[in-house]
Amino acid sequence: MNSVEIAVLPVGGLGTRFLPATKSVAKELLPVVDRPLLQYAVDEARAAGIRQFVLVTARGKASLADYFDVPGELIRVLEERGKSAELEILRATQLDPGAVITTRQQQPLGLGHAVWCARHVVGRRPFAVLLPDELLWNPSRPCLVQMVEAWRTTGGNMVAVMEVPLEHVNRYGIVDPGRAVGLLTEVRGLVEKPAVDQAPSRLAVVGRYILQPEVMDVLAQGRRGAGGEVQLTDAMAELIGRQPFHALRFLGERFDCGDKAGHVIANVALALERPDIGPAVRAWLAQRLGVPG
């Protein structure tokens, strides 16, 4: 197959870093400027040709599926008041009927387990995985668009990577790199959160994947890895040598919105790009920091 049409979004996390906000709001619905993190991930996937979305949720996170409902009463009020701009915002984010399917991860057993929970919907198709709290920003060529374009040539499995400081490699899945051609690097191995002195490179996997369905067969074995969890990185590593496997260097900016500082930085960075609010934000920052605007 030369297309990827289904994406898995693991969204069952508790969001404890954002308490107390996440007592009642799913972390994936926290906004960056005026758009939830989940919407950024879905928009990126749609730009890459994804038409079906599997939300792997957990108890208490029904609001994620509700977000994609048609807000009939709100639409009626906006129509009555002639709010055409606001109506267009809603229409642009509305998915086709049946495009969103939810399934539950009943136990927090890791990212690999969350992906495996989508196996019956994915079937035997290649699929994408997007982690919404990783905001990968390139509005002209979103990350998954870059990946799908490259994957049509390579096939197999692919991860998006960026170089991280050596002292941060123990926070990520790290690629053991092989031959590199342009932005593509052959993957010889994957190591989940290696010690700094044992990392094979500084190429970190940054929350975007295109995977073959055989990874579900590996995940079904339920083997535990780092942290006692079922690690997606470990399952992917078993496919190396059996299927083509590449890493693509993402051209763009990455914001770690699972971290409070990263989330605030993403809000400031994207606000500065907006013509409607950018000048006001820039002026306030200049005044606050005592630098020329």
pLDDT in tens, 115-159: 999 999 999 999 999 999 999 999 999 999 999 999 999 999 999
CA distance 270 to 18: 20
Alpha-carbon gap, residue 155 to 211, rounded angstroms: 9
Model confidence pLDDT, tens digit, residues 215-252: 999 999 978 887 788 889 999 999 999 999 999 999 99
Domain 6-258 in CATH 1.10.3720.10? The answer is: no
- Domain residue spans in the chain? 6-258, 259-293
Task: Encode pLDDT of 16-42 as tens digits.
Answer: 899 999 998 999 999 999 999 999 999
**Tens digit of each residue's pLDDT (9 = 90 or more) over 149-195:** 999 999 999 999 999 999 999 988 899 999 999 999 999 999 888 99
Radius of gyration of the chain (CA): 20
Please count the other Cβ atoms lying within 10 Å of the Cβ belonging to residue 247. 26
> pTM of this prediction?
0.93
CA angle 58, 64, 66 (to 5 degrees): 125
Q: Round to whole Å and give the CA distance between 167 and 197.
A: 9
pLDDT of the residue at 1: 60
